[in-house]
Amino acid sequence: MNFDFQDLSGTFTTFDIVVSLALSFVLSSVIAWVYRYTHKNVSYSQSYVQTLVLVGMVIALIMLVVGSNIARAFALVGALSVVRFRNAIKETRDVGFIFLVMAIGMTTGTRFYVLAIAATVAICLVLLIMNKFDWFKLDVQRQVVKVQVPPEPAYTATVEDVLIKHCSEYELVSTESVRAGALVELYYTAQLKKGTSSNDLIAALSAVNAGQRVSVLTGYDQTDL
């Protein structure tokens, strides 16, 4: 029996391997640092940031393996298609960073080194500028207002009078019967007027809803009475 062992590593040099992996590591680490620096919400994950670096290096390795061989590329696509990721992405910008490190991994793996460096610098600079000057921020803060009132229509009208006084705009989202029909829970989205706080709105609603529960939710914060 004749075993023909053939090493295909000769299609790229040791220098190519070292430079591609090292450069993908450095550039992916720069992207990961920019992600960490510009992240503002509470959903920050160290594991996700480390994964960005890992993905960049893995993609570079895959591109070295694929090279210009179309058959090998299709084989790798078929092999990778069986992988299923079930972790939910918490923010849409996280998807963008994944695509970015994948693109950098592809460029370093295909040995477009100058393009990889230039793209990383340019895109990271854009991200830092957008973060610095808070581009595309919309200064509209809306609250979710939940009010429990007796089922008489007069109470609903009184609640809306309070909302008119304290909010620049509001909208009734839903009405729900609670406590076996003894109370009605009203859900509104509202935008408070300038100079009006959530506590002011709660105090005004509590004065007209027969002592029932009032909640005002803003983002991750909840003021409740």
Residue 224 confidence (pLDDT) above 50: no
pLDDT at 49: 94
Q: What residue ranges do the domains of the chain occupy?
A: 8-133, 142-222
How far apart are alpha carbons 170 and 147 in whole angstroms?
13
For residue range 4-20, list pLDDT tens digits in order: 555 555 567 888 889 99
Which helix (H) or strand (E) segment holds residue 104: the answer is helix 92-109
Task: Give domain 142-222's CATH number out of 3.40.50.300, 3.30.70.260, 3.30.300.130, 3.40.1190.20.
Answer: 3.30.70.260
Residue located via tokens 């040791």: 14
Residue located via tokens 């529960």: 213
* Report for 1-10, 28-37, 82-91, 132-141: range of highest mean pLDDT: 28-37
Radius of gyration of the chain (CA): 28
113 contacts 19 by C-beta, under 8 angstroms: yes
Identity of residue 47: S
Question: pTM (2 decimals)?
Answer: 0.65
In this prediction, residue 35 has a pLDDT band, given cuts at 50, 70 and 90, of very high
Averaged pLDDT score across all residues of the chain: 83
How far apart are alpha carbons 125 and 149 in whole angstroms?
53
For residue range 133-154, list pLDDT tens digits in order: 888 876 656 788 999 998 888 8
Residue 90 confidence (pLDDT) above 80: no
For the chain, what percent of residues have pLDDT higher than 70? 80
